[in-house]
Amino acid sequence: MSRSKSLFRSLICPPSSESIARAANAILEGKLIGMPTETVYGLAARGDMESAVDKIFAAKNRPRSNPLILHVADVEDAEHLFDIDASGIIAARLKRVHRFWPGPLTVVGPRDSQILDHVTAGGDTVAVRVPDHPVALELLRELKRLASRPIPVAAPSANRSNYISPTAPEHVAEGLGEEVAMVLDGGLCRVGLESTILFLGNASSSPRVLRSGGLSAEQLSEALGEPVGAPRQIQSSDSGDASPVAKESFVAAPGQFAKHYSPNTPVVLLSNDSGFAEQNSELPQNTTVPAPRVLRIVFGPLTREVSQGASEVWTLASDGRLERAAFELYGALRKADEGQFDRIEVVPCEETGIGIAIMDRLRRASQQE
């Protein structure tokens, strides 16, 4: 291990009561810390302190037009961040999705007047979540105890903007070690993909999913008792900036840009309906240089066909369980970035359940600048 990696990893602290108290005090002082959640690790700061929120944008090199998600300890604290009196319909919808909290669901609704413009990118909505991770919840409760009131914590993924989200404490320490006071070690994130984001809509519009995650539109529709719109699928023709859904929703929530979650190594999505060797031959070739080193990622068991034309083949969830594939995806992309491959080819998975979120992330990762 290099000296710099060893130094940054010394920032990782076990989730003891003492470490959590130290992390809570650091947040209250306006510092940044790495916070584990069940989805990905967050870059946590006081969401009610402009200078602390500014540090998030600076550390990540995050566009100011990209709003942040506020994390709180329980449903009651979450409700206080919304202007739920704005519409009885909004209040009813919010109560119907309480069953998913704590959990991998972010809800976007009318903001309370106390919410900082820094957090919402100047919009009139706020994104709120109650995470389902024991360390995150203990930290949020400790903050509440120390301050004698709920302290909303802004916590986007703890990585540089547009790079792969971190699912292990080492990812945070090595990527943002110069920016954080400490990283709480919550182990590997058990979901491995960012939360589903649900826009509550209003009296004249239906709720809809802005970002796919571990909860499907069907699950949310069942809870709400009404149809829930599905997120727009990223197309290869989209630009690397804001996707149309981002423009349409005034970037009401994170994860709305076409290029996102991207390794440094180019990602190419293959199709399932033709030979892999033929698809490989259709990519630009240069006969004057050595053949490119190609990593191919597949979902499910390895076969001779999927190995054609690849230098290495990795399988995520060889048993076909897409929940396992989601858990492994970001770690695999980070490992691939360290492997000196010329490109990463991905054979798509089935777009059902969490497979919808997996393919959303891979489409965004494959977008060109």
206 Cβ contact list (under 8 Å, min separation 6)? 226, 227, 228, 229
Single-letter residue type at 22: R
Supply the Cα-derived Rg of the chain in whole angstroms: 21
Cα 121-126-129 angle, rounded to 5 deg? 125
Cα 5-61-177 angle, rounded to 5 deg? 20
What is the pairing mode between strands 33-35 and 42-46? antiparallel
Provide the token pair at 268: 């190419």
Q: For residue 127, what are the β-bridge partners?
A: 69, 108
Residue numbers belonging to the annotated binding site for L-threonine: 39, 71, 129, 155, 195
Distance CA 270, CA 343 (A): 12
Provide the token pair at 323: 């929940």
Residue numbers belonging to the annotated binding site for ATP: 62, 66, 125, 157, 165, 211, 261
Helices 217-224 & 88-96 angle (0-180, nearest 10) = 120
Give one word for 187, left, alpha or beta, with left for phi > 0 and alpha for psi -120 to 50.
left
Distance CA 213, CA 361 (A): 10
Which of 25, 20, 153 is closest to 77 using CA atoms? 153
Residue numbers belonging to the annotated binding site: 39, 62, 66, 71, 125, 129, 155, 157, 165, 195, 211, 261
Give one word for 320, left, alpha or beta, with left for phi > 0 and alpha for psi -120 to 50.
left
